[in-house]
Homo-oligomer: A and B are copies of this chain.
Amino acid sequence: MIRVGIVGGTGYTGVELLRILALHNEVEVAVVTSRSDDGMRVDALYPNLRGTIDVCFSKPDLESLASCDVVFFATPNGTAMLMAEQLLARNVKVIDLSADFRIKDVTEWAKWYGMEHACPDLIADAVYGLPEVNRDEIKQANLLACPGCYPTAVQLGFLPLIEQGLINHQHLIADVKSGVSGAGRSAQVLSLMSEAGESFKAYASTGHRHLPEISQGLSIAAKEQVGLTFVPHLVPMIRGIHATLYARLKTDSAAELQALYEQRYADELFVDVLPKGVHPDTRNVKGSNNCQISIVVPQGGDTVVILSVIDNLVKGAAGQAVQNMNLMFGLAENSGLQTVALYP
């Protein structure tokens, strides 16, 4: 059994990790930390876990975390970078669901996240945890940077086209829509049901923190700096991300794009290329670790449209983190992740 610690177990990515790990046969959830809820039973805060998780929240403490084989950080940005070094020194693997180790350029990171990085030396060692790109490195990783939710949906959508050099890289457009759980469990007016319900809007259109992460990933694949316009939107639903991606085709072979995607993801357990003509729907991945993708070339023109959906809390966060853990510990990649999306 792998002993697992979770730092920051009270947010939505934390409780989603608990939901998944509660039924993972090779894992024991040993430590769940929360400063504010120290001593409270985890299932008192989250009654959906009653009967499956029998631990209490504790204050974050190096010794108890060091007794684990792996520690997940489901914390706000800026926390994991304060503790990762000590845990790694104690031979504990670290999986960070926050943004602390995602961006390789520390100056860029500091600009977007508004703080100095506390352990810049570790950034180079951190492996970016998108298994469909980095599986081999992930298997060897001790420090894993789990991708953001928007970056997962956008990269999985664009990658086959970019890897094959089929599109113009300078004018990529990602029009992406997220459910409100992406804003987390913090008490903010804009996340109130009376504010976010029954309404739709764009936000952060002048620059969202996930922009440099997406650009970094796509630029590595393109082997040149890509140009990307990324506009996130808030959808009046709880879970789900839908990315609508636009690019200019450099090829006349629009007909072969379907086969290209199917081949690219043929061996991937969690990326599902839908049959031609089927639109992905976020509900069909709700609660599962799947990404479903469709390819369209409207009116046979030179603009390709990719539709890519994930559950932001699963493939966009906790599920992908467990997928990475499975790879890091040599388990079957889908251990604990064999769920079916809840429909309706």
Asked if A274 contacts B177 (CB within 8 A), the reply is no
Cβ contacts A211-224/B at 8 Å (1 or 0 each):
00000000000000
- Give the residue of B227, B233, B303, B305 whose beta carbon is less than 8 angstroms from that of A244: B233
Q: A197 in the interface, Cβ–Cβ < 8 Å?
A: yes
**A280 contact set on B, CB distance < 8 A:** 47, 201-202
Other-chain contact of A48, B227, B279, B288 (Cβ < 8 Å): B288
Contact of A181 among B185, B194, B246 (CB under 8 A): B194
| A344-B175 in contact given A193-B196, A305-B231 (Cβ < 8 Å) | no
| Smallest beta-carbon distance A285→chain B, Å | 7
List chain B residues, Cβ under 8 A from A179: 200
Cβ–Cβ contact B48 & A340, under 8 A: yes
Partner of A298, one of B205, B239, B341: B205
A333 → chain B, closest Cβ, in Å?
14
Whole-angstrom distance between the alpha carbons of A290 and B171 in the complex?
A: 32
Tell me if A126 counts as interface (CB < 8 A to partner B): no
Q: Are B188 and A187 in contact (CB under 8 A)?
A: yes
Task: Determine whether the beta carbon of A298 is less than 8 Å from that of B231.
Answer: yes
Query: When each residue 160-201 of chain A gets 1 if its CB lies under 8 Å from chain B and 0 otherwise, what string results?
Result: 000000000001010101011100011111011111111111
Chain B min CB distance to A272 (Å) = 6
| Chain A interface residues toward B at CB < 8 A | 12, 15, 19, 22-23, 44, 46-52, 171, 173, 175, 177, 179-181, 185-189, 191-203, 205-207, 227, 229-231, 233, 235-240, 242, 244, 246, 248, 272, 274-275, 277-288, 290, 292, 294, 296, 298-299, 301, 303, 305, 307, 309, 338-344
